[in-house]
Structure 1
């Protein structure tokens, strides 16, 4: 009798699916490195970071989510980063509150009222009995520069292996594609932050985080060179006098060397050029022409890249109300 040496192993059915939840920082970093290596790390979270820098950003996201009761992969889907700070997407905010066990009622949605869309969130706590209903209207969205009902816009597309600005492109902005969801989420953000502040632990939703970032940029409209001057460098000791320099003008009156990079002047040039932009598209064109991040890094001023971005974002914020529907 011949025995079959290749009998396939039996497969078990059933079982319970459980998430891998790291218990130590080392375990968190192991999970984070696997996420980065797999390409699942959100670009909004890691930006241009690579290796352990990217893994550290993922680890912080996982730990932030753990404090709110979220599993690691749920945290990665629920968080974004705005102006360097973690924030929850609209559905992530709702998910955290629902999982808290403190919700007696939570209902979000939208309705039409006098031809205008109105988003709402109605919630109630089961521990204190507190209840709240918050609405966010289409008129409020328009005033905030969020509402955009244009089916086509001007945006950058790739043609002949290069990016160009082109009219008549489909509008893929969330407020155009999903206005019902966006207006309901905005109402939910206001309602749940007020009613469940203890559950959210100070984590803001993406809408409030963007509002704060925009407000910070709008608060200071004076030129960067006046409002946020770069720290002065300590003066260099004067060179010993010589026959050629004894009768020269004082050193402080001398002009910068021809090849010396003028940081203040460069930032002022960017701000002046962006000041002439009339819409978001022209802002992007001017920003691309200056290539500020690469220029500042190559000139040894990488610490001022954020300042350059602030100039751009401030101009966009000034134009933002003009871009509404």
Structure 2
């Protein structure tokens, strides 16, 4: 009997789409291109995206991650703002100091900023559905004057909120929320405030929705459901919740193969698998390789959408050439031994 035949069987329901979205891909590309054009160091305010592998990889290339602009010396090197967006005060301070900055805010986050500002221009008090302290929420609230935005986290917050003018309210949402949770909060808001104005288009981004839809389709009757992502990644944590609500016996957030709960993985199990929008594909590949070392793995690909979105970088760095290994990193893949992207 061959070694393969002697291994216990394991079925993996692999979700598609998963992993990097267009906004994350763009943000990482901006840092890599800035390093190519301007040399080291390139400063990055906060984590460019919420993933340790990505951050450490960029740090190895020469990126320096800082909490605030005050941590950056006046050495003429550029600073990149993260994909989550920043308050208006941050680029204003950069301009005051005559710093070269590159704004890697996801275009879909920028769209939420514009929607919030439109509500305010029309005289509405802005309600932001999101999680307190998340960088995207901080950035969105920072687009408007203090007090202009009220954060709504739960349906309980809706019950307690009493506005000055119930007829002049408009809402937006954080882009990485659970679609189902957000729908419940919106229903509660609309029931209490019938004249509530919605944003001109959906705030939750396509990538969040697509990944949640795929997990919902794959989750029923799975024994475990692995979501590859970082603990501080909102969209990844939401995927764990979605998996369990959709019928998985247990959802688990894993940063990489080192987090696999081997004691809980047994023969003939069905395991679901997806990855948050900031998780590179190499981490998913490493987990699958580790499972194949112990099990006879059957992959069932469950695809619910095809993503073709592409967000170009700013013109100032668009023509900077990238090497093969740079492209592999930007796209979240492993570079093959022959120099191609695997």
TM over 0.5: no
Structure 1 or 2: more helix by fraction: 1
Point out the structure with max Rg over C-alpha. 1
TM-score tier, shorter chain, comes to under 0.3
